[in-house]
Amino acid sequence: MSELAFTLLRFAFLGLLWVFVFSIVGVLRTDLFGTTVKSRGQGRAPAPRAASPLPPPPSRSTPGPLRRLLVTQGPLAGTSIPLVGTSIVVGRSPAATLVLDDDYASGRHARFYPTDDAWFVEDLNSTNGTLVNGHPIQAPTPVELGTVVRIGQTAIELRR
């Protein structure tokens, strides 16, 4: 084999090695920092919302005085949602009332809903479960003032 052909093969091999290195760096960068989301622009209408498969809460009245849900731990700490008598779905889904940025939360993780005299929380068959004061729940559970509801790494309290 001539010296020229051997040198060209070496440069081609070196070029392929660099392509491989840059593709590995690109994959690592995407894994570490995520993909970039581009704006959809102003001209598109929002997508229609699908009907909720959840049954309506037993009552539409707000039990007791005005209350709110306060996120006390997690990425949304300090977020407050007033409880006005309608159910509140918590999860990672954009259709949820309180959208969590939590890897341990399901798309539709839990639901807070009122009855005539109290607020309840129920787990919506989430993967990691819902904890009320540190205990996993299997059925709708009443939530009193100061009760800590943990969904993944997010802690939510019922406050006045």
If you average pLDDT over every residue of the chain, what do you get?
Answer: 84
Assess whether 108 and 152 both reside in one domain. Answer: yes
Assess whether 25 and 77 both reside in one domain. Answer: no
Per-residue pLDDT tens for 127-142?
Answer: 999 999 999 999 999 9
Residue 10: helix, strand or coil by DSSP? helix
Instruction: For residue 24, give its domain range.
Output: 1-34
Q: Could you give the residue ranges of the DSSP H alpha helices within the chain?
A: 3-33
Q: What is the pLDDT of residue 67?
A: 81
Assess whether 87 and 144 both reside in one domain. Answer: yes
CATH number of the structural domain spanning residue 153: 2.60.200.20
Q: What is the pLDDT of residue 121?
A: 94
88-91 β-sheet, strand order? 98-99, 88-91, 110-114, 119-123, 141-143
Q: How confident is the model at residue 120 (pLDDT cuts 50, 70, 90)?
A: very high
Assess whether 19 and 79 both reside in one domain. Answer: no
What total number of domains does the chain contain?
A: 2
Assess whether 88 and 19 both reside in one domain. Answer: no
**pLDDT higher than 50, residue 75:** yes
Assess whether 73 and 135 both reside in one domain. Answer: yes
